């Protein structure tokens, strides 16, 4: 756990340099197979670790994350490096003049940046299949997808390369890979964490958040990033989010949700209306904002884009403004429907994905009897929630020896505290939790 690492460093039981070198060795061993890291920052990481150890030697407190190695999705600014956002066309972009604000906060807490991490180009996908940087593989089965677009961030944590990483989530890009890789991920309330120095995709939905292997680690990183402690509240009113969120879901995942409900003394099943429209509206707004953002480069050098990204961006740029405005109006209505549910409940439980990670050589999922591309459709349970800015913790079911499945614990805007409380309870009771890969 990252608190244990920090405590060891702060008390001198271990050195930050030793911990960072272990992380670098782990990356060197596993990254050739998993392809999670795009750039390993060996020299600067060791230099940062030496600075942390020097503080300890002087009797100074290096911070609550002292010596904790971390990595960032390759759309966070890192001073002196081009921010590629997963795009080959940005390899020669001007280097960032300063770190992203979230990176600055983690470093100020004593954490040590070790690597940048793979992603779908411009964060447009749920698979981390990247034409320039390759496909990230799942630590629980190297023949399977890690999910995306923050797949490198999730795989690095699940494999034990790094105890903490940052990703971004527009339509599910933290929650999908967290679920498929069997770890925890936080998509906070929209706008709750600093976006300064993060390459944008869709301003309406973009958020950043951490990945970790325990609720305590996720909570500590959230508190450092947000600048304040999570205030617990009790009791927590819980419901199961059904309807759209119960269709085409692995039977074991539905059984697990039922078991959690029974364990908690019984919970209601509730539904959000018009979820399919909400997902469609989120798709439309994503396409319009993304296409508009990249339109100048599409006009100038369209062939430099990954073809799978380029075609979707062009289609979005061609959509009429009237369609976007209609989706925006619908969002206000859908947000009001969710608010009514949260008058009665603090946490809604839903699947994160409908099934386990798809094979890389057949990247499809099954919905309503059809086979659909995973790259576009793995986020079908995540999109309707980020559409209205809700905070979500992605939590792994305990499934030793099996491919991971994950839950979404969903709260109202600003309602992260009960999510952490419920996740901690379910983890302590053995219903959710990280299981290290066996392969």
- pLDDT, position 229: 82
What does the alpha-carbon distance between residue 418 and residue 223 come to, in Å, rounded to a whole number? 14
- What is the band of 22 on the pLDDT scale with cuts at 50, 70, 90? very high
Mean pLDDT of the chain: 97
Residue ranges covered by each domain of the chain: 2-226, 238-428
The CATH number given to 2-226 is 3.90.1300.10
pLDDT at 242: 97
| Same fold flag, 2-226 and 238-428 | yes
What is the pLDDT at residue 421?
A: 96
Cα distance from N-terminal residue to C-terminal residue, the chain: 22
Specify the pLDDT at position 356: 98
d(CA 150, CA 169): 8
Mean pLDDT over residues 137-157, rounded?
98
pLDDT bin (cut points 50, 70, 90) of residue 357 is very high
Q: pLDDT value at position 280?
A: 97
Ranges of beta strands (E only) in 6-156 are 37-40, 69-73, 112-117, 129-130, 134-135, 137-138, 141-145
CATH for 238-428 is 3.90.1300.10
Q: What is the pLDDT of residue 228?
A: 84
Tens of pLDDT, residues 110-119: 999 999 999 9
pLDDT, residue 44, reads 98
- Band (pLDDT 50/70/90 cuts) for residue 235 is confident
What percent of the chain clears pLDDT 90, i.e. is strictly above it? Answer: 97
| pLDDT-derived band at 1, boundaries 50, 70, 90 | confident
Check pLDDT > 80 for residue 234.
no
Mean pLDDT of all residues in 382-396: 98
What's the mean pLDDT in 178-207? Answer: 98
Question: What is residue 429's DSSP assignment?
Answer: T
Mean pLDDT along residues 231-255: 92
pLDDT reported for residue 188? 98
Q: What integer pLDDT is reported at residue 321 of this predicted model? A: 95
- Average pLDDT, stretch 49-77? 98
Per-residue pLDDT tens digits for 297-323: 999 999 999 999 999 999 999 999 999
Mapping DSSP onto H, E and C, the string for 339-388 reads HHHHCCCCEEEEECCCCCCCECCCCEEEECCEEEEHHHHCCCCCHHHHCC
Is 439 a residue whose pLDDT tops 80? Answer: no
Q: Are 188 and 209 in contact (CB under 8 A)?
A: yes
Task: Decide: pTM greater than 0.95.
Answer: yes
In this predicted structure, what is the pLDDT of residue 65?
98
pLDDT tens string 245-298: 999 999 999 999 999 999 999 999 999 999 999 999 999 999 999 999 999 999
Do 119 and 149 touch, CB atoms closer than 8 A? Answer: yes
229/351: higher pLDDT: 351
Q: How far apart are CA 223 and CA 67, in angstroms?
A: 17
- Show which residues are catalytic: 73, 149, 173
């Amino acid at each position: 756990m990252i608190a244990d690492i920090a405590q060891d460093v702060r008390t001198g039981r271990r050195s930050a340099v030793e911990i960072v070198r272990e992380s670098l060795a782990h990356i060197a061993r596993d990254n050739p197979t998993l392809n999670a890291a795009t750039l390993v920052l060996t020299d600067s990481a060791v230099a940062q670790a030496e600075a942390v150890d020097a503080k300890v030697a002087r009797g100074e407190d290096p911070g609550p994350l002292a010596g904790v190695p971390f990595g960032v999705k390759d759309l966070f600014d890192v001073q002196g490096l081009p921010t590629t956002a997963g795009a080959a066309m940005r390899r020669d972009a001007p280097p960032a003049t300063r770190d992203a604000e979230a990176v600055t906060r983690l470093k100020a807490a004593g954490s040590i940046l070790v690597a940048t991490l793979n992603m779908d180009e411009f964060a447009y996908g749920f698979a981390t299949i990247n034409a320039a940087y390759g496909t990230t593989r799942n630590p629980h089965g190297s023949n399977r997808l890690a999910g995306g677009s923050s797949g490198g961030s999730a795989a690095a944590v699940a494999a034990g390369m790094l105890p903490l990483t940052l990703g971004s989530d527009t339509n599910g890009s933290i929650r999908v890979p967290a679920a498929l890789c069997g770890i925890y991920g936080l998509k906070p309330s929209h706008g709750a964490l600093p976006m300064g120095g993060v390459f944008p995709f869709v301003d309406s939905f973009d958020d950043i958040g951490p990945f970790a292997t325990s609720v305590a680690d996720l909570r500590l990183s959230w508190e450092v990033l947000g600048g304040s402690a999570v205030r617990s509240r009790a009791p927590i009113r819980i419901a199961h989010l059904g309807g759209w969120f119960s269709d085409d879901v692995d039977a074991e995942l539905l059984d697990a949700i039922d078991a959690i409900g029974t364990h908690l003394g019984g919970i209601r099943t509730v539904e959000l209306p018009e979820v399919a429209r909400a997902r469609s509206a989120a798709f439309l707004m994503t396409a319009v904002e993304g296409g508009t953002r990249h339109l100048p480069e599409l006009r100038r050098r369209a062939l430099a884009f990954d073809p799978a990204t380029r075609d979707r961006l062009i289609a979005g740029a061609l959509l009429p403004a009237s369609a976007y405005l209609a989706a925006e109006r619908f969002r206000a209505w859908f947000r009001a429907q969710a608010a009514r549910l949260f008058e009665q409940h603090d946490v809604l439980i839903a699947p994160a994905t409908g099934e386990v990670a798809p094979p890389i050589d057949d990247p499809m999922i099954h919905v309503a009897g059809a086979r659909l591309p995973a790259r576009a459709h793995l986020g079908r349970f995540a999109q309707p929630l980020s559409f209205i800015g809700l905070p979500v913790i992605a939590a792994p079911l305990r499934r030793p020896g099996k491919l991971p499945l994950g839950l979404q614990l969903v709260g109202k805007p600003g309602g992260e505290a009960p999510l952490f409380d419920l996740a901690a309870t379910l983890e302590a009771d053995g219903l959710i939790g990280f299981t290290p890969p066996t392969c």
